[in-house]
Structure 1
Amino acid sequence: MRHIRIRHWFFASLAAAIFVQCASIAQPQGGPRDSLPPLVVSTVPVQKAANFKGRRILLNFNEYVALRDQQKEFVISPPNLNGSKPTLTVKGRSIQVDFQEQPDSNTTYRLDFGNAIADNNEGNRLGDYAFIFSTGPQIDTLLMSGLTVDAQTRDSVIGAMVFFFDAAADSVASRDSTLFNARPDAVFRSDSSGFFLADILRDKDYRVYAILDKNGNQRYESGADYVAMLDTVYNPTRMPDFDMWIEPAAGRKGPRRQIDPPQLRFELFMEEPVRRQTVLGTSRPERQKLEIVFNAVRQAEIVSFAPVGLDSTWLTRENGIKGDTVWYWIAPPTRADAEALQDTIRARISYMTQDSLWNPQLKTEELTFVHRIVDPTARGRKSNTAYADSVKKVKEARRKAKRAARLQKKWLKVARQISRRRGDPKRTDAELLADSTLFKQVDVDTTQTDKPRREDELPAKNPFGFEVMAANPLNPENHIRLLFNYPLRSVDDARIRLTKLSEGQSSLPSRDRQSAVAEPGKKTETPEPFTVELDSATRRLLTIRADWKADDEYSLLIPDSVFTDIAFQANDTLQSIFKVADSSKFGTVIIELNEDDALPDYEYILELQTKDGKTVQRVKHAVAGGSYKLRYLSAGTYRLRVTEDRNRNGEWDTGSLVERRQPERIRIWEHPLNGRDILAKENWDVAVPVDLRELFERP
């Protein structure tokens, strides 16, 4: 009996072990996915502690945590003088913050972790967490709110850093260097709605700036980061009240903070980098085109430009769109002079730049322009060694042998078909090749082992180039514009022919009809008067204007050699048949700017845009009191963007931090009831009254 009990006990233990082992392998079942961020359960010292004298802070959470993008997300306010940050260390369910140096005395600190804290398993982020403490007897608790937007798009800017500087310590001279040299008293960051709340301020005047840090180094870099500055100083005790609330989560959007009205408003812009003018490089993309690239975006002030061996009267200057590029076109009077141009041209240029104190200074340089002719049929570099030449010959021989074999195979196939039709007995390939009578009947040349090149079969392309800037159907307000690759030397506009096409008519009535009627398929051509305008500045833009009639069909014929450019190249024949758009199939928007004597003497830029921000039509140099009709708009929803053009140049100009110049203001027009949407319908006029004062006073 004892042996039986031991045996039963042994098998029971073995079964239990197997059962436990199998259970340990199986995955746990059920349970929802963790979607909650970690929570702070305690801190050492406590949140908003005063008289803190240590150098270590400990944050304890309810689960294991990790740090993500801490270099970019973690911000300390105020920052250390040397730019260093405390060291962050993750220890299980805690984060340890160690200051490398003793914090400043009598100072309120704010450790902004942004979205750096997440749980270790699912990566759920604890957003916008900040820890505040003071090394003095009290916490600075004055508040100031604000909003950050893009100066051009008017969209909210997420993650902009807002710097508060002591206005008494950081006086602004003629050139503002506060962001580069001074230490801010406090730093804050805008949230996902563009709002920010500064909550550790004192009762004093502040000079406030905002930047959008693109590279994450938490320092402003001109030309790389967006920036905004305010024109005056602000004290939190003298600011108007504001309301703040949290909107609940909706859809994929989480809870969002709302502030109304924001006390400070920043319009961030990308300023042109402040650089001393200098020549970055030169090139000669065309034989008669010299290109100079400067490092400053502003238009170069060239005092003199003298190429060696060229007559200065041959040169025509053209400025690039951005202003940092200048082209000089060479227009010799004769073809012989054009062909005699050297491949390398040297020139002496004198232009205005700045010295070390930013005072105007004249600089002279020697420039070189080299024109290299590239053979488009060449592949790679040509070999210049005997070994490379021998390898090339072997490859060429193999290629010819393969082509000869393919041609012989094709010849044998045709020869065998002819032999069968003649009733010859079955023959081998050698017998077919030996039959001389077949060579006269098989139309396959087996000696052409060199494959003809495609460029040898096609006619040479005319180097004269231009772009037709017109659509079909034609918008009659835009006319027909031609943009040429080279400036034109001559235009023989008397040879251009513009005719209106209409249904043809029978010349004589017949017995079956008493009057002439239209014959299907035939159209008559009636000459139409037109004018040709050539841009005198560049001589590269030509406009053909006519009294276009809606829904009519026209034919434009430009014979060859009507246009001749400075390289003595002429155009080929161009013929086009097109229709003019019918205005009844499009909508019209009439923009009426109110007249107000109190408005400054500015001009305005009106841009009608689609909902995705694409500009459909633009009006430059608009003035208060004017009415502007935008026609030929496809049915749809648009919005109106109005730019305050202070310098009347027809373009939006950015601001300058160093010069403390704000960017030109941009506003999106809104209807009091319908909002921003402007609905255009076919054969319908929509009036858009714009109160300029109300528009630009509105933030």
Structure 2
Amino acid sequence: MKPIPKYIAILLVIIGFYACASTGSPDGGPYDEEPPKFVRATPEPNATNNTRKKISIEFDEFIKLENASEKVIISPPQKESPEVKTSGKRVLVEFFDTLQENMTYTIDFGDAIVDNNEGNPLGQFTYAFATGPTIDTMEVSGTVLNAADLEPIKGIQVGLHQNLNDSAFTTLPFDRISRTDSRGKFTIRGIAPGKYRIYALMDGNQNYLFDSKTEVIAFQDSLVVPSMEGAVRQDTVWNELDTTKIDTIKQINYTRFLPDNIILRAFKEENDLQYLMKSERPKTTQFSLYFSAKSDTLPTLKGLDFDEKELIVEANPRKDSILYWIKDTTLCERDTLTLQLDYLATDTLGQLVPKTDTLRMINKIPKARRLA
């Protein structure tokens, strides 16, 4: 047997090396860019006369929920939050409150439903059912802006009241509800024909009514009357071979729900509860008092271990922030100044009554540092 030529042996070694290097897992195929697709639900979407409190919605692939607490909106609002979770290819929703009679329930998932692997969002997916013989399908939509700078507000509740009394907003939860997205946009679904008042609320205690002046609110003076009309929109189809060229422009008929351009400007009500918020002595030469609301008068100050005539008073126009300058250098070096403060404060009945506090203004700068 003839020996293998040297150049052939080297070639075989190189081929063997690359064969080993290429060993590995097979290609997983093209990247999945398709969102999950709805398959079926129990009860069926838009079912009427439903009494089930457990909802099962199935999709064509394994799914998960992203930021469900922020994105999933259930209307009408529930006293006890329903449980919303995933199980394989299904979303499971269980209601704990008693279902109201002749009511349309909507579960607006927004873009919370995504596939399990790539996270492709399904988009604006909404499921609805009715406990009565008919299902309400009206919608209203719009935008919530910050009244101070007209910037969109994300995550603020927007709700409707069929009770047209102004006090309903402070005593009753919303009848229908939604929440704004990152652009400040909202859509309230499942509305019955009628007249409504609309409000926006940054609900601090999650009870769906305005009961604290620390909550940001918005409202519209005019009533909201939902309606619908036939409309046409254009859908552009691009050329598959040359995506810079238009193939066809289709006319798509759809139902337009009105009003769809509501603008709400949100603000925080001015606090009229008067009380002393804070007192501090940041420097040896001054101390400050801060009140919760503006006032028509300045508080009366009396030095208990110093002469208050040695102070220069500097107040802002609202008289809710007052700076006291200490003229006497000897007083500046004292560690503590004790004073009596007389001012008007709001009592439990909401009335302004005289109040007296004794304050100790402690020098924040230690004596060792002052003498250094």
Judge same fold: TM > 0.5, yes or no: yes
1:367, 1:306 → 2: CA distance? 10
Residues 302 and 352, structure 1, Cα contact 8 Å, conserved in 2? no
Q: 1:123 aligns with which of 99, 119, 134?
A: 119
2:343, 2:123 → 1: CA distance? 53
* Amino acid of the structure 2 residue aligned with 1:55: K
Compute the TM-score of the two structures, normalised by the length of structure 1: 0.42
Aligned counterparts, 1:119-158, within 5 A: 119-158=115-154
* Amino acid of the structure 1 residue aligned with 2:148: Q
* Amino acid of the structure 2 residue aligned with 1:78: P
Q: 1:371 aligns with which of 359, 363, 366?
A: 363
Judged with a 3 Å threshold, the aligned counterparts in structure 2 of structure 1 residues 361 and 246 are, in CA distance, closer, same or farther, namely: farther
Judged with a 3 Å threshold, the aligned counterparts in structure 2 of structure 1 residues 116 and 286 are, in CA distance, closer, same or farther, namely: same
Aligned partner of 1:266 in structure 2 is 264
What 5-or-longer segments of structure 2 have no aligned partner? 1-19, 237-255
Residues 200 and 217, structure 2, Cα contact 8 Å, conserved in 1? yes
Q: Does 2:335 match 1:343?
A: yes
Please report how far the alpha carbon of residue 290 of structure 1 lies from its aligned counterpart in structure 2 after TM superposition.
Answer: 1.8
Aligned partner of 2:349 in structure 1 is 357
2:232, 2:220 → 1: CA distance? 23
Please report how far the alpha carbon of residue 232 of structure 1 lies from its aligned counterpart in structure 2 after TM superposition.
Answer: 3.8
Deviations 1:453-479 (A, max 9, x none): xxxxxxx9xxxxxxxxxxxxxxxxxxx
Residues 217 and 267, structure 2, Cα contact 8 Å, conserved in 1? yes
Please report how far the alpha carbon of residue 30 of structure 1 lies from its aligned counterpart in structure 2 after TM superposition.
Answer: 5.2
Aligned counterparts, 1:129-208, within 5 A: 129-168=125-164, 171-173=165-167, 178-208=168-198
- Secondary structure (helix, strand or coil) at the match of 2:119 reads coil
Deviations 1:171-212 (A, max 9, x none): 225xxxx44531211002334543333332223322211135
Q: Does 2:218 match 1:228?
A: yes
Residues 305 and 350, structure 1, Cα contact 8 Å, conserved in 2? yes
Q: Does 2:106 match 1:110?
A: yes
Residues 300 and 351, structure 1, Cα contact 8 Å, conserved in 2? no
2:357, 2:230 → 1: CA distance? 59
Aligned partner of 2:46 in structure 1 is 48
Aligned partner of 1:290 in structure 2 is 287
Percent identity of the aligned residues?
28
Aligned counterparts, 1:585-596, within 5 A: none
* Amino acid of the structure 2 residue aligned with 1:166: Q
Residues 165 and 207, structure 1, Cα contact 8 Å, conserved in 2? yes
Aligned partner of 2:36 in structure 1 is 38
Please report how far the alpha carbon of residue 96 of structure 1 lies from its aligned counterpart in structure 2 after TM superposition.
Answer: 1.7
* Amino acid of the structure 2 residue aligned with 1:145: S
Please report how far the alpha carbon of residue 347 of structure 1 lies from its aligned counterpart in structure 2 after TM superposition.
Answer: 1.0
1:312, 1:192 → 2: CA distance? 53
2:234, 2:52 → 1: CA distance? 35
Please report how far the alpha carbon of residue 365 of structure 1 lies from its aligned counterpart in structure 2 after TM superposition.
Answer: 0.9
1:245, 1:149 → 2: CA distance? 27
2:210, 2:125 → 1: CA distance? 24
Residues 157 and 190, structure 1, Cα contact 8 Å, conserved in 2? yes
Aligned residue-pair number = 332
Judged with a 3 Å threshold, the aligned counterparts in structure 2 of structure 1 residues 129 and 223 are, in CA distance, closer, same or farther, namely: farther
Aligned partner of 1:279 in structure 2 is 276
Judged with a 3 Å threshold, the aligned counterparts in structure 2 of structure 1 residues 89 and 340 are, in CA distance, closer, same or farther, namely: closer
1:105, 1:76 → 2: CA distance? 16
- Secondary structure (helix, strand or coil) at the match of 1:138 reads coil
Judged with a 3 Å threshold, the aligned counterparts in structure 2 of structure 1 residues 377 and 143 are, in CA distance, closer, same or farther, namely: closer
1:299, 1:245 → 2: CA distance? 56
Residues 213 and 220, structure 1, Cα contact 8 Å, conserved in 2? yes
- Secondary structure (helix, strand or coil) at the match of 2:309 reads helix
Deviations 1:535-588 (A, max 9, x none): xxxxxxxxxxxxxxxxxxxxxxxxxxxxxxxxxxxxxxxxxxxxxxxxxxxxxx
1:243, 1:307 → 2: CA distance? 75
Q: Which of structures 1 and 2 has the larger relative contact order (alpha carbons within 8 angstroms, sep 6+)?
A: 2
Residues 308 and 347, structure 1, Cα contact 8 Å, conserved in 2? yes
1:259, 1:66 → 2: CA distance? 31
- Secondary structure (helix, strand or coil) at the match of 1:197 reads strand
Judged with a 3 Å threshold, the aligned counterparts in structure 2 of structure 1 residues 68 and 261 are, in CA distance, closer, same or farther, namely: closer
Deviations 1:216-266 (A, max 9, x none): 8977685765421122433325xx979796998xxxxxxxxx999844210
1:119, 1:321 → 2: CA distance? 57
Judged with a 3 Å threshold, the aligned counterparts in structure 2 of structure 1 residues 127 and 324 are, in CA distance, closer, same or farther, namely: farther
1:241, 1:318 → 2: CA distance? 62
Aligned counterparts, 1:663-682, within 5 A: none
Judged with a 3 Å threshold, the aligned counterparts in structure 2 of structure 1 residues 128 and 301 are, in CA distance, closer, same or farther, namely: farther
Residues 302 and 349, structure 1, Cα contact 8 Å, conserved in 2? no
Q: Does 2:85 match 1:89?
A: yes
2:295, 2:333 → 1: CA distance? 29
2:338, 2:309 → 1: CA distance? 17
* Amino acid of the structure 2 residue aligned with 1:365: D
2:110, 2:208 → 1: CA distance? 13
Please report how far the alpha carbon of residue 138 of structure 1 lies from its aligned counterpart in structure 2 after TM superposition.
Answer: 0.5
Aligned partner of 1:98 in structure 2 is 94
Residues 147 and 196, structure 1, Cα contact 8 Å, conserved in 2? yes
Please report how far the alpha carbon of residue 86 of structure 1 lies from its aligned counterpart in structure 2 after TM superposition.
Answer: 1.8
Residues 72 and 216, structure 1, Cα contact 8 Å, conserved in 2? no
- Secondary structure (helix, strand or coil) at the match of 2:312 reads strand
Deviations 1:477-511 (A, max 9, x none): xxxxxxxxxxxxxxxxxxxxxxxxxxxxxxxxxxx
User: Higher helix proportion, which one?
Assistant: 1
1:27, 1:224 → 2: CA distance? 58
Aligned partner of 2:199 in structure 1 is 209
Please report how far the alpha carbon of residue 137 of structure 1 lies from its aligned counterpart in structure 2 after TM superposition.
Answer: 0.7
Residues 346 and 352, structure 2, Cα contact 8 Å, conserved in 1? yes
Judged with a 3 Å threshold, the aligned counterparts in structure 2 of structure 1 residues 242 and 183 are, in CA distance, closer, same or farther, namely: farther
Please report how far the alpha carbon of residue 302 of structure 1 lies from its aligned counterpart in structure 2 after TM superposition.
Answer: 3.1
2:163, 2:142 → 1: CA distance? 18
Aligned counterparts, 1:620-639, within 5 A: none
Q: 1:29 aligns with which of 21, 27, 36?
A: 27
1:101, 1:180 → 2: CA distance? 22
Deviations 1:604-624 (A, max 9, x none): xxxxxxxxxxxxxxxxxxxxx
Aligned counterparts, 1:512-661, within 5 A: none
Residues 227 and 268, structure 1, Cα contact 8 Å, conserved in 2? yes
Judged with a 3 Å threshold, the aligned counterparts in structure 2 of structure 1 residues 313 and 123 are, in CA distance, closer, same or farther, namely: same
- Secondary structure (helix, strand or coil) at the match of 2:69 reads helix
* Amino acid of the structure 2 residue aligned with 1:43: A
Please report how far the alpha carbon of residue 36 of structure 1 lies from its aligned counterpart in structure 2 after TM superposition.
Answer: 2.2
Judged with a 3 Å threshold, the aligned counterparts in structure 2 of structure 1 residues 127 and 217 are, in CA distance, closer, same or farther, namely: farther
* Amino acid of the structure 1 residue aligned with 2:146: D
RMSD value, Cα:
3.6
